[in-house]
């Protein structure tokens, strides 16, 4: 795997657009996370729920609930992760546009190794995004938390792992689209269009089956925020519908099932199709 990652590094290290997009994504992600307290202050100022929102802000960025709350924001269906998925589509579709994949195979790389190389890049992008959340979470947590003991800081650290699983699955989905479509423009359109397509399909299926749709399954692990120190509730402001206290094994299993499906489809396509 290290050899495959070295090959991918040789391809990407001089690809300026790739690094610009990665840097832009991280800048926007960190700006959004760091800006959440100010955004809640703005909401409190502009709405009639000043007390409730201020109370929520007071506890939302405390250790250890902060890990779940920032992971929820970063992993929202229409959030910044789409930008990262577009990056995956571009870099993999370029392999077909510039016939790099043929060159790799001619020089001895197997199709399976090509797949693992791309999955390795997806893994690293997911890891970079998760580390960015770790850094921003530590900053906000130390700024807002009264209790900063080791046990409290890392008490709910597993939510970053759940975030990593979600985004790795989503980026693997983007990788599948890039490999199937090959043409960068069409692949981007397909990725963006699918968000709307699934919403239309969701409208016609039973509510009990909604969670089995691909994007819903990929976003089904982290479904809400949490404030374990206080339950904010007023007649017009109720967070109960948005709170999530734990992660279901079925949701994790469903996400892993789609991850296995995407990887399986990539493997079959690369080994059956003329490249």
Mind listing the pLDDT tens digit for each residue in 5-50?
888 888 888 888 889 999 999 999 999 999 998 888 888 777 766 7
pLDDT tens, residue by residue, 100-149: 888 887 777 888 999 999 999 999 999 999 999 999 999 999 988 877 88
pLDDT tens-digit map of 85-105:
999 999 899 888 877 888 887
Domain count across the chain? 1
User: Whole domain around residue 212: which residue ranges?
Assistant: 2-272
Whether the predicted model's global pTM rises above the 0.85 cut = yes
- Yes or no: say if 111 and 271 are a contact pair by the CB < 8 Å rule: yes
| Range 210-219 contact pairs with CB under 8 angstroms and sequence separation of 24 or more | 211/251, 211/254, 212/254, 214/173, 214/258, 215/77, 217/251, 217/254, 217/255, 217/257, 217/258, 218/166, 218/169, 218/170, 218/173, 218/255, 218/258, 219/75, 219/76, 219/77, 219/166, 219/170
- Judge whether residue 238 has pLDDT over 70: no
């Amino acid at each position: 795997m290290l050899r495959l990652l070295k090959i991918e590094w040789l391809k990407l290290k001089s690809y300026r657009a790739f690094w610009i997009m990665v840097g832009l994504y991280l800048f926007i992600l960190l700006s959004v996370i760091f800006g959440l307290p100010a955004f809640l202050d703005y909401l409190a100022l502009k709405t009639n729920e000043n007390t409730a929102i201020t109370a929520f802000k007071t506890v939302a960025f405390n250790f250890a609930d902060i890990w779940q709350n920032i992971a929820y924001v970063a992993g929202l269906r229409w959030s910044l992760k789409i930008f990262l998925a577009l990056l995956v589509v571009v870099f993999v579709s370029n392999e077909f546009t510039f016939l790099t994949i043929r060159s790799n195979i001619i020089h001895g790389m197997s199709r399976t190794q090509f797949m693992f190389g791309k999955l390795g890049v997806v893994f690293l992008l997911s890891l970079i995004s998760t580390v960015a959340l770790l850094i921003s979470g530590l900053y906000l947590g130390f700024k807002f938390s009264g209790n900063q003991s080791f046990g409290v800081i890392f008490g709910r650290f597993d939510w970053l792992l759940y975030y990593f699983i979600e985004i790795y699955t989503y980026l693997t989905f983007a990788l599948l689209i890039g490999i199937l479509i090959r043409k960068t423009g069409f692949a981007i359109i397909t990725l963006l269009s699918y968000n709307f397509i699934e919403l239309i399909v969701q409208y016609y299926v039973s509510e009990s089956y909604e969670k089995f749709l691909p994007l819903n399954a990929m976003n089904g692990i982290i479904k809400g925020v949490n404030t374990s120190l206080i339950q904010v509730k007023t007649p017009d402001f109720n967070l109960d519908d948005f709170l999530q206290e734990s992660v279901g094994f079925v949701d994790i299993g469903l996400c892993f099932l789609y991850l296995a499906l995407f990887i399986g489809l990539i493997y079959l396509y690369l080994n059956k199709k003329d490249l």
